[in-house]
Structures are given as C-alpha cells and as structure tokens.
Structure 1
Amino acid sequence: MATRDLAVGVIFLVQTLVGILGNFYLLYHYLFFSLTGSRLRSTDPILKHMTVANLLVILSKGIPQTMAALGLKDFLGALGCKLVFCAHKVGRGVSMGTTCLLSVFQAVTISPRGSWWAGLKDKAPRYLGTTSILCWFLNMSLNLIVPVFVTERSGGTNVTRTRDYGYCHAVTHYKIIETPYLILASSHDVLCVGLMVWASGSMVCTLHRHRQRVRHLHRSSVGDPRHPPETRATQSILVLVSTFALLCTLSVAFQTCMTISKNPSTWLVVTSVLLAACFPTASPYILMRHDSRVLGLCFPRK
C-alpha cells in the first residue's frame, strides 16, 4: 500500500470516527430528553432529524471511502453501490434542508411582535416535525434517479464512460438524465444556503436592534458592558453561518466539478469527500457547545 493511500485512509478513518461518536452522542441526548419529557425545546425535532441525516452522510460516505483508501476496492456489489450513493445523497440533502429549516425557524422565533413573521410564531412549532419528514420525502424523491448512474467497479462497464470513486463507478453517458438532475440538485443547494444566510442575517439585525434599545440597561448593570448577551449570540450566529455557508459552497463546487469531469483526479475525489463530511462531523460538537442541557449532563454541577 502506498504511503499516500495510507495517509488518506487514516484521515478518512479519524474523520469518520469523530463524526460517528459526536452524532451518536448528541442523538442519544435528544432521545433521552424526548423519552423523559424533560427540558424539551421547540427546535429538538429538527435537531434529531439533522443528527440522523448527518450520521447517514458519514456512514454512507466515510466508511466506504476509508475502506477503499486502505486497499479494499471491490467490496460492494452493484446493489451495495446503489444503496450507498443514494443514502449519501438523501442524507446530505436532508442535513442541508433541516439546517436551513432551523435557521428560518430561529429567525421567526426572535422576530419582533410587530414584524411580518409575528403571525407564524405560535404556529411554526406545531409543524416542525411534519416539515422535517417532508424534507426526507422530497430528498428521496429527488434522488430516486441516483441508482441509474452507479454500478460496481468489477461490473465490466466501459471505463471511458464512468468515474471511478475507488469502490464504485458512476456512469456518465446518460447526459439527457444527468443534466436535469444536476440542475435540480444544484437549485436545492443554492436555495437552502440562500435561505439560511438570509434568515441568519435577519437574526443578526434583530439582535443588533435589540442591543441598541437596551444599551443603557447594560451600562447600569454589574456585568461586562462590552460583552452583553446579544453580542455573544450575534457572534455565535455569525460563526455558525460562516462555517456552514463556506463548507456547503465548497462542497457544492467540488461535487459539480466531479460531475462535470469525465475522469476526476484522486485529489479531487478525496477533497470532495472530506468537505462533504466536514459539516456533519463538526455540527454535533457545535450544537453541544451551545446547548446547556447537554453540557449539564456531561458536566453536572456539584
């Protein structure tokens, strides 16, 4: 085994293990909160769906890519390749969709009573579970065509018409089907990222206006006036939005390059896989960092 392949395999393995542990740990806590009926939040249904989708992305992409990098090339049959690719596409779409839904819901929640969103404040929490399930259904419908493009590496397919992912082949000669699918998938990604950036920007503006109105209260309080709660919340939103938007934009760009390229290079495939799993891997730790309930269970007060 080449040193480069071993290094790539170790990187994939570490990323996969970190992502699986973080998401399983977070999912356990959300299920614990649901079963015990204590300290539930309106955003918990979205976060549970997001965590499951993140796990699906990591399991369907990280594990096969790790095994392929470590030398196991033809361990999936034709059916296995189709299931793995379809699961990854659906998980990735649901992860992006639920993150977008979370941002929009938060924007509605903190919007002023006199705003256009005021009428949705009381209604929105009742539809979060249904909307999350609808997100799964829409992404499964969009990616029903994915198995047509995927086959096993040992299936005797003409290599001039396939892209090699290390453990499966993606057929590239169905342009009449592939082009509309690429347009729909890209439109979904652009719409989700755009809505999330817009919703997060709206939250930042709302928090900034609130800070201006209560500035005199912070000046008279005993706390540090330079770092009021609104400022810390705004900074957290900016970090989350910037991270998500950057990783998703890079991932979409590399995925598009791989789709367009007839024979993508190894570094393009490796970088694309790493980027695709970055947000699902990092998101549980970001959520745990900002969820006092999880931190309270991890580090209970004496």
Structure 2
Amino acid sequence: MNKSKILYIFIAVKIVFSIQIVIGKTANFFLLLFHILAYLLHFRPKTTDLTIAHLALIHLLMLSIRTFLDTDIFGVQDIWNDITCKVVVYLYRLMRNLSVSITCLLSVLQAITLSPRSSYLAKFKLTSPQQSLCCILISWVFNMFVNVHVLVSMKGPTNATKGFAFAFESCSISPTGHYFKTFFSLIGIIPDIFHIRLMALSSVYMVTLLCRHKRQCQHLHGTSLSPRASPELRATWTILLLMDFFVVMHFMVCIISTSAEGMLKKDSACLVVQMLVGNGYATISALMLISSE
C-alpha cells in the first residue's frame, strides 16, 4: 500500500472518529440535561430517570476519556508516562464496566416497573430516587475494586512496548504472576456474564408481559385498539432494543479484542475497528433514549 493511500485512510479514520465522538458527547449531554431538568422541575418522574441520567453521565465521561486514550491517531504521544497510563486506562475501564452495570440495572428496573402487583417482583418496586442511588453507589464501589489491578499492571511506554488495546502504542502492560492475572481476569469476566444473563432474563420477562398485555387489550377492545402505544410501552420497547444492541456491541468488542492480541502484530486496522465499535454503544444508546423521550 503506497504512502498516499495510507495517508487518506489515516485522515478518514480521524474524521470518522471525531464525528462519532462529537455526536456521542452531544447526545449524552442533552440526555443528561433533559433528565436533570425533569428531576428539578418534577416533570413526570419515573423510577428509571436517575438511572438513565447516570448512564448518560458515564457515557459522556467514557467518550471524553476515550478521546484522551486515542490521541495517538492525532499524533500526540508525549503525554504518556506511568501515571497518565495508570489513571486514564483505569478510569476508562471503570466507566466501561459501569456502563454494563447501569445498563443491566436499567433493564431490571423496567422489568420490575412493568411487573403486576400480584407478582413476586412487585415488592422490589422502588418508591424513591434514593433507592436507585443506593444501587448505583454499590456498582461504583464494586467496579472500583474490580479494576484495581490496572493500577498495578499498567505502565508507560518502554523501548519494547507491548501495546495496550485502548491506546495504540503508548501504554504497556508489565509482567504479572500467573495467579494474579488469572484472579483478576475471572473477576473481570464473571460480572459481565452475570450482567448479560440478568439482562437476558429481564428482557424475556418484559417481552412475556408485553405479549400478555397485547392479547388482553385485543380481547377487550377488538380491532378498535388505538395503534399508538402508551409511553410505558414505548419506553419498554426502547429499553429492549437497547439491551439487544448492547449485547451485539459487547460481543463484537470481545471478538475484536480477542483477535487483536492484535497489538503484538501491529494490526492497526483491527485496533481502529475496536476503537469505533467501542464508542458505538455510548453514542447510539443516547440517540435511542432521546428518540423515546
């Protein structure tokens, strides 16, 4: 591949990355602002308002940190040292894990909200924003602990940098013991499996309730049923779509990350795709939630 073609590809990547980041930050900022104003003005408060606002804040921070992590594509490499690598990568991992946790919490809250009064889940219905805040704080504490190993294993660039998948060639991973690596790998994987399974269960439960509700409405109203869905139903379908999109993006990132032990092979194309896919959920989820509001 000649140099001019490489230059065009490099410029295209920078443009696409910049557009994605700008759209993502703008959408999450307006989503966060909308829910803050809705809370302050006491405008049709819902149990999921605080959770959605927190998810928007996390994605806003995640996209900002991601911009810092991927500064290599803009030719900025002098900012990296041990401290910046540890802090920035730790914060990104923390935001990414919180995104998974809060998305799962949003799915569970919506399932509980839809549950009929006679169901077992009805007694878990939240009656105040403080209860949602308590769940969010628990997620923060847990994920802060899970990612502590990044502060130990991450370091700045060396002469023989073993690159890290979130920054092109700026940060490296210091060698760690087998048991240390295995322990923290399991701590990182098990919560993801738990969250995805919980999202799947809550999604199946919500679909079951919606189908039952639809049959009851058709039985009561026949063909006279209004084609316009209620706000609760629209919100539920949006969250279900959000769950599906999250799972697809999560597995794409996992597949790309696995194939891109890629940094060892200097597979820049794989890293670019990983970078864009990694930002995809944070960007598109905000647009989906805004459209439902």
TM-score scaled by length of structure 2: 0.86
Alpha-carbon distance in 1 for matches of 2:260, 2:176: 15
After alignment, is 207-216 or 232-241 more displaced? 232-241
Q: Counterparts of 1:124-135 in structure 2 under 5 Å?
A: 126-135=130-139
Q: CA deviation at 1:272?
A: 1.6
What corresponds to 2:220 in structure 1? 217
1:234-260 superposed Cα distances (whole Å, 9 cap, x missing partner): 754543222111011212333344469
Alpha-carbon distance in 1 for matches of 2:229, 2:12: 45
Question: Aligned partner of 1:9: which letter?
Answer: K
- What is the number of residues matched between the two proteins? 285
What corresponds to 1:139 in structure 2? 143
Q: Structure 2: which 5+ runs fail to align?
A: 1-5
Q: CA deviation at 1:61?
A: 1.2
What corresponds to 1:114 in structure 2? 118
What corresponds to 1:100 in structure 2? 104
After alignment, is 213-222 or 273-282 more displaced? 213-222
SS at match of 1:31: helix
1:26 aligns with 2:35: no
Alpha-carbon distance in 1 for matches of 2:148, 2:225: 58
Alpha-carbon distance in 1 for matches of 2:181, 2:271: 19
Alpha-carbon distance in 1 for matches of 2:240, 2:46: 22
Structure 1 residues 70 and 3: alpha-carbon distance in aligned structure 2, compared to 1, 3 A threshold? farther
Query: What percent identity do the matched residue pairs reach?
Result: 26
Q: Counterparts of 1:103-252 in structure 2 under 5 Å?
A: 103-122=107-126, 126-153=130-157, 156-159=158-161, 161-163=162-164, 165-166=167-168, 168-171=170-173, 173-176=175-178, 177-221=180-224, 223-224=226-227, 236-252=238-254
Alpha-carbon distance in 2 for matches of 1:233, 1:130: 23
Structure 1 residues 77 and 98: alpha-carbon distance in aligned structure 2, compared to 1, 3 A threshold? same
- Give yes or no for contact 1:204–1:237 (8 Å, CA) kept in 2: no
Structure 1 residues 284 and 136: alpha-carbon distance in aligned structure 2, compared to 1, 3 A threshold? same
SS at match of 1:168: strand
SS at match of 2:171: strand
Question: Aligned partner of 2:113: which letter?
Answer: T
Structure 1 residues 187 and 264: alpha-carbon distance in aligned structure 2, compared to 1, 3 A threshold? farther
Question: Aligned partner of 1:21: which letter?
Answer: T
SS at match of 1:53: helix
Question: Aligned partner of 1:221: which letter?
Answer: S
Q: CA deviation at 1:213?
A: 1.6
CA RMSD of aligned residues (A): 2.6
What corresponds to 1:300 in structure 2? none
TM-score scaled by length of structure 1: 0.84
- Give yes or no for contact 2:55–2:103 (8 Å, CA) kept in 1: yes
- Give yes or no for contact 1:33–1:39 (8 Å, CA) kept in 2: yes
Q: Structure 1: which 5+ runs fail to align?
A: 292-302
SS at match of 2:119: coil
- Give yes or no for contact 1:89–1:143 (8 Å, CA) kept in 2: yes
What corresponds to 2:267 in structure 1? 265
1:61 aligns with 2:66: yes
Alpha-carbon distance in 1 for matches of 2:106, 2:79: 38
Question: Aligned partner of 2:216: which letter?
Answer: R
SS at match of 1:166: strand
